[in-house]
């Protein structure tokens, strides 16, 4: 009888997006008969513990940096970033010696690799974006240094489609990526299963998804509260806090700390308007549910800014900057955009089937 292969699966703890999009990947490995161990920290690991209560979990402390919207700020944070990755890698080597995995899957954790164990990196932010058009010249340099870290992994799994009908644009489809890295496209990932969800009659006219790291997470929450009070529509604000179990209603606004995917999906499907960050995991969830949104990129996160501009040019979302957020104007524009769509190709299972040890 063939021995069960062990997978060590770890996700980045910058908001819940990396954890939510990892759920279908973990489910697929379990369906293929793998013994899955989870590693991480904070709310992302807590969310995975709630979803997979029978899996072994391990604490792994990761990268802690502050975002910057300037080239100088990015350069200044490099030493801190390198130090965090080195510390993360040392922890990971110790953990691998303890549990002896056959395969490592890392969703955006650059220190989570091993020199003698097949290690796969999941990510779409491969061709890093400069903060503004005046610093575009730095992008090839950023990619050169980024690829040094990515080449430590055996393979890169890109959660997107390979063709023109994709979500990530140049982030995962720049020609330099295919020339430099060993990549497979595994299709967009979402925790939602649209076939099991039906719009309810309940209904909040506006659904707000709060996500991302502090301090911008709380700033966004406060700004959305102000807009919700101003326009006076029935609004649900989902706080993305799985460590809490709270619900408060004040006038037209209901704040909920966390909802399961089965609770959340029909609420999103039935909402007239959605307000959220333009994080890639959120966009994949919206695409799975065939929805669009008013997207507010997190200041300092160049990936979110690029995605918001890229998809708004294709008339698939409405984009506003946080300091210029105006729900009334944004909702008016939503009537003219297309819904996001989701690739139906089962690329993830194909990628797992191709694995060899």
* pLDDT, average across residues 178-184: 95
Percent of the chain with pLDDT over 90: 74
Pick the CATH number of 6-190+344-353 from 3.40.190.10, 3.40.50.2000, 3.30.465.10, 3.40.50.720: 3.40.50.2000
Tell me how far apart the terminal alpha carbons of the chain are, to the nearest angstrom: 16
Q: Can you tell me the mean pLDDT for 61-79?
A: 57
What's the angle, vertex CA 24, arms to CA 123 and CA 5, rounded to 5?
90
How many CA atoms are closer than 13 Å to the CA of 307, on its beta-carbon side?
30
Confidence of residue 356 (pLDDT cuts 50, 70, 90): confident
pLDDT of residue 195: 53
pLDDT of residue 67: 47
Q: What is the pLDDT of residue 200?
A: 56
Over residues 25-42, the mean pLDDT reads 96
Cα(289)–Cα(199) distance, rounded to whole angstroms? 10
Position 70 confidence tier, pLDDT thresholds 50, 70, 90: very low
Helix axes 216-231, 327-334, angle to 10 degrees: 80
pLDDT digits (tens, 9 = 90+) for 135-155: 889 899 999 999 999 999 999
Order of strands, sheet of 247-250, starting from the edge strand that comes earlier in the sequence: 247-250, 253-256, 235-238, 206-209, 273-276, 294-295, 318-319
Q: Which residues contact 158 (CB under 8 A, 6 or more apart)?
A: 123, 124, 126, 168, 172, 183, 184, 185, 186
Report the alpha-carbon distance of residue 334 to residue 230 in Å, rounded: 19
pLDDT of residue 194: 67
Among 60-69, 206-215, 275-284, top mean pLDDT goes to: 275-284
Q: What mean pLDDT is predicted for residues 250-264?
A: 92
The tens digit of pLDDT for each residue in 232-245 reads: 999 999 998 888 88
Helices marked H in the chain? 17-31, 42-51, 71-99, 139-150, 170-173, 175-180, 216-231, 261-270, 280-288, 302-313, 327-334, 347-353
Average pLDDT of the residues in 179-189? 95
Report the alpha-carbon distance of residue 159 to residue 185 in Å, rounded.
Answer: 6
Mean pLDDT in residue range 5-28: 93
pTM, rounded to two decimals: 0.91
Decide if pLDDT at 174 tops 90.
yes
Query: Is pLDDT above 90 for 80?
Result: no
Query: Does the domain spanning 194-334 belong to CATH 3.40.50.2000?
Result: yes
Residue range(s) of every CATH 3.40.50.2000 domain in the chain: 6-190+344-353, 194-334
> What pLDDT score was predicted for residue 76?
60
């Amino acid at each position: 009888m063939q021995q069960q292969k062990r997978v060590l699966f770890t996700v980045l703890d910058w908001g819940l997006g990396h954890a939510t999009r990892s759920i279908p990947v973990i489910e697929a490995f379990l369906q293929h008969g793998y013994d899955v161990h989870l590693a991480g920290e904070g709310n992302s690991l807590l969310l995975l513990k709630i979803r997979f209560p029978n899996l072994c979990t391990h604490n792994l402390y990761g990268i802690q940096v502050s975002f910057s919207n300037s080239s100088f700020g990015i350069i200044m944070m490099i030493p801190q970033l390198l130090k965090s990755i080195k510390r993360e890698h040392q922890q990971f080597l110790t953990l691998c010696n303890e549990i002896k995995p056959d395969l490592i899957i890392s969703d955006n954790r650059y220190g989570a690799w091993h020199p003698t164990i097949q290690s796969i990196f999941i990510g779409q932010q491969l061709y890093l974006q400069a903060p503004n058009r005046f610093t575009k010249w730095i992008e090839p340099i950023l990619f050169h240094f980024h690829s040094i870290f990515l080449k430590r992994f055996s393979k890169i799994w890109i959660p997107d489609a390979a063709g023109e009908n994709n979500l990530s644009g140049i982030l995962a489809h720049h020609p330099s990526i295919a020339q430099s890295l060993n990549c497979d496209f595994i299709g967009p990932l979402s925790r939602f299963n649209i076939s099991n969800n039906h719009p309810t009659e309940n209904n909040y006219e506006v659904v707000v998804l709060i996500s991302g790291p502090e301090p911008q997470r709380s700033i966004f929450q406060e700004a959305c509260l102000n807009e919700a009070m101003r326009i006076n529509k029935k609004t649900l604000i989902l706080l993305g806090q799985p460590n809490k179990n709270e619900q408060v209603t004040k006038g037209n606004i209901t704040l909920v700390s966390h909802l399961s995917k089965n609770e959340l999906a029909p609420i999103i499907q039935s909402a007239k308007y959605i307000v959220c960050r333009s994080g890639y995991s959120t966009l994949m969830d919206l695409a799975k549910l065939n929805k669009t949104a008013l997207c507010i990129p997190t200041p300092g996160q160049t990936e979110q800014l690029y995605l918001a501009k890229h998809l708004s040019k294709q008339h698939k979302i409405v984009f506003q900057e946080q300091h210029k957020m105006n729900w009334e104007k944004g909702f008016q524009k939503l009537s003219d955009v297309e819904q996001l769509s989701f690739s139906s190709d089962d690329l993830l299972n194909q990628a797992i089937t191709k694995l060899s040890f």
